[in-house]
Amino acid sequence: MSEINVSQKNNLSGRIASFRAMERADKRRTIIDTLFNNAMYIIIFIAIIFITIREPGFLSLNSIVNIISLTAAKLPIALGIGGAIVLTGTDISAGRCVGLTACIAASLLQMANYPNKMFPDLDVMPLWLVLLLVIAVGAAVGFVNGFFVAKFKLHPFIVTLSTQLIVYGMVLLYLMNGTNNGQTLSGLDSSYTDFVRGPLFTIGNVSVPKFVLYAIILTVIMWFIWNKTKFGKNMFAVGSNEEAANVSGVNVFWTIVLVFVLAGIMYGITGFFEGARISSCSSNTGLNYESDAIAACVIGGVSFVGGTGKISGIVIGVLLLQIIFVGLNFLSVDQNMLYIIKGLIILVACAIDMRKYLARK
Amino acid sequence: MLQNESVSDKKTENSPMPELPQRKPGGLYRNIKMSVKTANILVLILASALLVSIFVLTQNNGFTVSFDTDGGSQVESVKVYYDDTVAEPETPVKEGYIFTGWYLDRAATEEWSFESDTAQNSMTLYAGWQKQE
């Protein structure tokens, strides 16, 4: 961690000066290194220019607000997964976990007089209670993930793959509850949708939804946890070298468990917002959200090498990814086709991440 | 995280300050044996594949709007572009029911307006039916 921090604190002019002083071969290598390490940003830049030329309306206020609110919606889940990636793991149960918590939140907050209500006798529950409940559900899934990873040293891919399936089964079972019979949940109470989707402020005639503010608050909290708490420092220590962390007195077991629990809490909060944001929840809600989040983290420099990553990087990663997706949506590319792009983006981002590691070695 | 070697032998050594082991090599990439040059080529290939697929997909674009008649006569799906209105399809028929319009959900609560609503993505519109008295 320390040497990385020092090199990042070097200012730009210092870097340029040291670049001028280099030999020709070194200069060439530095340029190639810079180009390759930033290849993802270059690709995204090319794509933005291409999209803007095809559809100049892409840079309108409307779509910029759209990009910002989509970024805010996908940010908490990426902040959660970021911790797991810092530990050289990952979490692929995230999307289904968001789906489960979104369905729970939506079912408890349907309008009192909605005809297809899941629990017809239930009054609309208080928002804070539902929020606490979904956070608890998310944390429970996270605890299971973390426990199996930390205790049995199973790879997080395997553990979270199984919890992903288990949680999906729970979503399907939950949707069969009451009179619902597996149908999509809609008809949400206005207190819920106003709390999440209601306008925070309005620019021009485009309103920014309230969940943008909540995403900013969550980002600040996560920044604090990562950078200013003992737990955050332990997380980076365990991620960069578990043995060393253990020797220097870090409780590795609880650090890993807490990283996953924190991620689970983030999924719960995302699910709560997602339920109101898309306003109709089905078993497909949250499908593949983890792939976006993992891609965003890796683009933003949270490395699978372990022990490196910054909150600001995650924010930038999510933003860049949403710019691409909104842009392709603008060009009328079918949502189904985006999966091909998403898969390739993850591959490219990981290849660049691996290249950075090889070049440093 | 995945290393099985135990650290107990390090602890039993009688050094006053435990020597910190070197940074664990590479996390997820620790088993990769590859030169930087090969990695460069890999990045180049994947990056061009990504750019090419973005270009190809934007050439072959358009959202599909399909119509679910819930047992009524079939209605062909149509292709639309971003922010366009959808052309109203032929009215479906179903024995014993009266057609009430096209809706965004099967429960027929949110009606789709062919004059004012615009397509933001691929979607399915559901036919609303009212039982004939």
CATH number of A57-360: 1.10.3470
Do B67 and B80 lie in one domain? The reply is yes
Classified as helix, coil or strand, A103 is: helix
Do B43 and B88 lie in one domain? The reply is no
Q: Which of B11, B44, B59 is the last residue of a domain?
A: B59
Condensed to tens digits (0 to 9), the pLDDT of residues A259-307 reads 999 999 999 999 999 999 988 888 889 888 999 999 999 999 999 988 8
Count how many domains chain B has.
Answer: 2
Q: Which of A23-27, A106-110, A147-151, A230-234 has the lowest mean pLDDT?
A: A23-27
Do B75 and B53 lie in one domain? The reply is no
Chain A partners of B57 at a C-beta cutoff of 8 Å? 328, 333, 337, 340-341
What pTM did the predictor assign? 0.84
Q: Which of B6, B41, B59 is the last residue of a domain?
A: B59
Do B55 and B100 lie in one domain? The reply is no
Greater confidence, A190 or B12? Answer: A190
What distance in Å separates residue B115's CA from the closest CA in chain A? 20
* Averaged pLDDT for residues B22-40: 77
Do B67 and B45 lie in one domain? The reply is no
Judge whether B115 lies within some domain.
yes
The pLDDT of residue A123 is above 50 = yes
Q: Indicate the residue of A40, A305, A333 with minimum beta-carbon distance to B58.
A: A333
What distance in Å separates residue B68's CA from the closest CA in chain A? 16
Chain B partners of A303 at a C-beta cutoff of 8 Å? 27
Q: Which of B30, B59, B88 is the last residue of a domain?
A: B59
In chain A, which residue's Cα lies nearest the Cα of B30?
Answer: A305
CB neighbours of A249 closer than 8 A, spacing ≥ 6? Answer: none
Judge whether B7 lies within some domain.
no
Judge whether B10 lies within some domain.
no
Q: Which of A49-63, A135-149, A270-284 has the highest mean predicted lDDT (pLDDT)? A: A135-149
Per domain, the residue ranges of chain A are: 57-360
Q: Could you list the residue range(s) of the whole structural domain that residue B53 is in?
A: 21-59
- Separation in Å, CA A241 to CA A171, A236, A258: 37, 8, 17
Q: What Rg value do the Cα atoms of chain A yield, rounded?
A: 22
In chain A, which residue's Cα lies nearest the Cα of B8?
Answer: A247
DSSP state of B127: E
| CA A358 to mean position of chain CA atoms | 26
CATH of the domain at B112: 2.60.40.4270
- What is the C-alpha separation between B108 and B113, in angstroms, rounded? 13
Do B40 and B90 lie in one domain? The reply is no
Do B127 and B78 lie in one domain? The reply is yes
pLDDT tier for residue A10 given thresholds of 50, 70 and 90: low
The pLDDT of residue A343 is above 80 = yes
Residue-averaged pLDDT of chain A: 89
| Beta carbons of A252 and A246 less than 8 angstroms apart | yes
pLDDT tier for residue A58 given thresholds of 50, 70 and 90: confident
Whether residues A348 and B21 touch (CB distance < 8 A) is answered with no
In chain A, % of residues over pLDDT 70: 97
Do B76 and B110 lie in one domain? The reply is yes
pLDDT tier for residue A229 given thresholds of 50, 70 and 90: very high
| Beta carbons of A245 and B6 less than 8 angstroms apart | no
Do B51 and B104 lie in one domain? The reply is no
Q: What is the pLDDT of residue B25?
A: 58
Q: What is the pLDDT of residue B12?
A: 43
* Averaged pLDDT for residues A297-324: 92
Sign of the CA dihedral running A297, A300, A303, A304: positive
Q: What is the pLDDT of residue A231?
A: 95
Q: What is the pLDDT of residue A320?
A: 93
Condensed to tens digits (0 to 9), the pLDDT of residues B35-49 reads 888 999 999 999 999
Strands B123-131 and B97-103: antiparallel
The pLDDT of residue A9 is above 70 = no
The pLDDT of residue A1 is above 60 = no
Condensed to tens digits (0 to 9), the pLDDT of residues B55-102 reads 888 887 788 888 888 888 888 888 888 888 888 888 888 888 888 888
Determine the number of helices (DSSP H) and then strands (DSSP E) in chain A. Answer: 16, 2
Do B54 and B75 lie in one domain? The reply is no
Q: What is the pLDDT of residue A59?
A: 84
Cα atoms in the 13 Å half-sphere on the side-chain side of A239: 26
Residues 76-95, chain B, touching A (beta carbon < 8 A) = 80-82
* Averaged pLDDT for residues A30-39: 88
